[in-house]
A and B are shown apart, each in its own frame.
Chain A
Amino acid sequence: MSEDVMKKIQEQIDKNNIILYMKGSKDMPMCGFSARVVQLLNSFNVPYETVDVLQDPQIRQGIKDFSNWPTIPQLYVKGKFVGGCDICIELQESGELEPIVKSAGE
């Protein structure tokens, strides 16, 4: 991965307490897994940023390398990689997701 892409991703993550790398936008997710995570985040009523990886092939590949994670979506909270769709659902079911997200959204 090029240094520039890595730097750009690091900046996005640093600048936004809650940031979701996804396919499509909040209003129009282009993949069921992305849509599911958007739905979860919306339910918490906190502000969050999204990056549409379909708009930028370098970010699309770059975020996978950056996180060492093979799939999109990817959720970062306060600079830490939380997980993809399965993990967000898992954390939601165990009640752990809300405190993680809400503490970052305030």
Chain B
Amino acid sequence: MDPEIIKSIIEKGMKTSYVHVEGDGTHFNAIIVSDEFEGKLPVERHKLVYSALGETMKEQIHALSMKTLTPSQWENK
């Protein structure tokens, strides 16, 4: 799967201010910045992304690592 496809699915499924996905076709790393993450625990943040991905990566989801940040965390990085 093309990392760009994953990126566009995440962007369609939730409100984001920055999404970056890279990968070799089997393993992917994603950075997702969204103000929807504000006040949420990491578990809840990742669940938001999983639900944005929906059925797309059900089988390959284990191959996705992600960092979930709020816009202010991203600024301060």
Query: Taking beta carbons and an 8 Å cutoff, which residues of A are in contact with B?
Result: 33, 68-72, 81-87, 90-91
Contact = CB atoms under 8 A, between A and B. Distances in A.
Interface centre among B42, B47, B58, B67 (most CB of A within 10 A): B42
26 contacts: A33-B62, A68-B47, A69-B43, A69-B47, A70-B50, A70-B58, A70-B61, A70-B62, A71-B61, A71-B62, A72-B62, A81-B43, A82-B43, A83-B42, A83-B43, A83-B46, A84-B46, A85-B65, A86-B65, A86-B66, A86-B67, A87-B42, A87-B43, A87-B46, A90-B67, A91-B42
Nearest to B30: A86
SS class, residues of chain B in contact with chain A:
helix
Interface string B36-77: 000000110011001000000010011001110000000000
Interface of A is mostly: mixed
Interface of B: 42-43, 46-47, 50, 58, 61-62, 65-67
Given A71-B62, A82-B43, A85-B65, 8 more contacts: A68-B47, A69-B43, A69-B47, A86-B65, A87-B42, A87-B43, A87-B46, A91-B42
Contacts of A84: 46
Nearest to A87: B42
Contacts of A90: 42, 67
A17 B57 CA distance: 32
A22 B48 CA distance: 23
Contacts of B65: 85-86
Nearest to A96: B42
A85 B46 CA distance: 12
